[in-house]
Amino acid sequence: MLDINWIKANPAAFDAALSERKNVPFKASELIAMDESRRSAIAAVEDAQAKRNALSKLIGQAKAQKDEAKANELMAEVASLKDAIQTGEATRKEAEDGLRNALLVIPNIPLDEVPRGADEADNKEYFGLNGSPATAARARPAKPSFSYKPKEHFETGEAMGQMDFEVAAKISGARFVVLKSHLARLERSIGQFMLDLHVDQHGYTEVQPPLLVKDDALYGTNQLPKFADDLFFTPHGESRLALIPTAEVPLTNFVRETILAEDELPLRLTALTPCFRSEAGSAGRDTRGMLRQHQFNKVEMVAITTPEASGDEHEKMLADAEDVLKQLGIHYRVMMLSTGDMGFGAQKTYDLEAWLPGQDTYREISSVSVCGDFQARRMDARVKGKDGKIRHVHTLNGSGVAVGRALIAVMENYQQEDGSIAIPDVLQPYMKGLTSIGAKS
């Protein structure tokens, strides 16, 4: 949620910045007009309340002095204010809700360095701060080469008899998968490895969060009100709960409605959780294989920082996600998303795209975003500085990384001509020392 006072002070910048983004339903001038009526409504109510309070005080004094006549006189006077207060409060609530509801559907303002553009075609490859393409590329694993046409993950997986879409469809329908045997273990190993890496080496605290969340939490991390169609809901009493589409929701909402001390920051949390997405609107996209599922596991990283620290934290979180792919030995590239391709709440987003030789292309495996105070305003998450000043925190989130997609990347990059899959060194301890799976014996 953007700050109406900022919009008031920078209407041109607001309109210009959001012209780069899709579906922005309001102009600055409309929001400012809404704010005007909100504030005049507040002034009207408070004026009436002040008069009522003053008179009530006098009534108390009159009664204390047993002056019933005066008390009655004052009571008659204050009665006339009642209507004004009541209708004023209704007007005020309407105006406040109107402005808030408008602000809730306005996306975040991209940072200056974000490439302007309409869609992913305008994304720019990112080589690190002050980093040249050459040096950044040297630190990354190389593309593997094959003496045959590399297979896609579902070909190998089905041939192994350890990846089964038909059984999954019988149980749950389309966009589900069943993994079995060594492949199931490999999936688990990848998740464990990544979680351990972030906890042991990158300074995150491991969390087991709830997987069902309230609407309030979803408003905080901007799934609501605009993206309800992407979620699975389950009835709960008179209300409902949503299955988390990402652990970003519970982890970021850790700090909702709190004022943190500055020395508690940065707060770095990570969790390995299932994620549930209805994928409404994705009909026909990525229907083969397990690239796009209703349910998948993901390691998520979340950081809560001061406004000053969020930029550096974003680079750190990107490096933390990159480290996963470096250690797994998977070639990848980093893209800075353009204004047209960024998520609703992001100020700036880096996508990690893993090389998938079977598909002969790069595919998104992680997305690392800095949201500024956008989510903090929605959640009312603040930090009290050493000087006593209270400001909204900054929030960041990134996948570190999606487990299902990492499994795909391992399967395609480590495939062998005989249909087996070599196990990356860092995963072997998790695989009880297995160096290869799926080989014909």
Partner RNA sequence: GGAGAGAUGGCCGAGUGGUCGAAGGCGCACGCCUGGAAAGUGUGUAGGCGGGGAACCGUCUCAAGGGUUCGAAUCCCUUUCUCUCCGCCA
Annotated binding-site residue numbers for L-serine: 246-248, 277, 300, 397, 399
Task: Give the torsion sign (CA, 315, 139, 203, 291).
Answer: positive
Which residues between 256 and 275 bind RNA (CB under 7 A)?
259
Q: How many chain residues interact with RNA (CB under 7 A)?
A: 30
Task: Tell the smallest beta-carbon distance from residue 210 to RNA (Å).
Answer: 11
Contact string (CB under 7 A) for RNA, positions 142-181, x = contact: ----------------------------------------
431 vs 182: CA distance, rounded Å = 8
Task: Tell the smallest beta-carbon distance from residue 56 to RNA (Å).
Answer: 4
Task: Tell the smallest beta-carbon distance from residue 276 to RNA (Å).
Answer: 19
Residue among 49, 327, 359, 436 that touches RNA (CB under 7 A): 49
Binding residues: 246-248, 277-279, 300, 364-367, 397, 399
93 vs 265: CA distance, rounded Å = 35
Nearer to RNA, 106 or 352 (CB): 106
Stretch binding RNA (CB under 7 A), from 35-43, 135-143, 181-189, 423-431: 35-43
131 vs 120: CA distance, rounded Å = 22
Residue among 55, 169, 211, 212 that touches RNA (CB under 7 A): 55
Task: Give the torsion sign (CA, 19, 20, 23, 25).
Answer: negative
Contact string (CB under 7 A) for RNA, positions 394-433, x = contact: ----------------------------------------
Nearer to RNA, 78 or 111 (CB): 78
268 vs 186: CA distance, rounded Å = 27
324 CB-contact burial (10 Å; exposed 0-12 / middle 13-18 / buried 19+): buried
Backbone phi, then psi, for 102, in 5-degree steps?
Answer: -70, -45
Binding residues for ATP: 277-279, 364-367
Nearer to RNA, 139 or 259 (CB): 259
290 vs 47: CA distance, rounded Å = 62
Note the residue count of the chain: 441
Here the tokens at position 111 are 């940072």
Here the tokens at position 440 are 């014909």
Q: Are 226 and 378 in contact (CB under 8 A)?
A: no
- Residue 240 engages RNA in binding (rule: CB under 7 A): no
329 vs 423: CA distance, rounded Å = 11
238 contact partners, CB below 8 Å, separation of at least 6: none
Contact string (CB under 7 A) for RNA, positions 64-103, x = contact: x----------x--xx--x---------------------
Residue among 54, 139, 167, 439 that touches RNA (CB under 7 A): 54
Residue among 9, 16, 43, 174 that touches RNA (CB under 7 A): 43
End-to-end CA distance of the chain: 58
Which residues would be at the binding site for RNA (CB under 7 A)? 39, 42-43, 45-47, 49-50, 52-57, 59-61, 63-64, 75, 78-79, 82, 237-238, 259, 382, 384, 388, 390
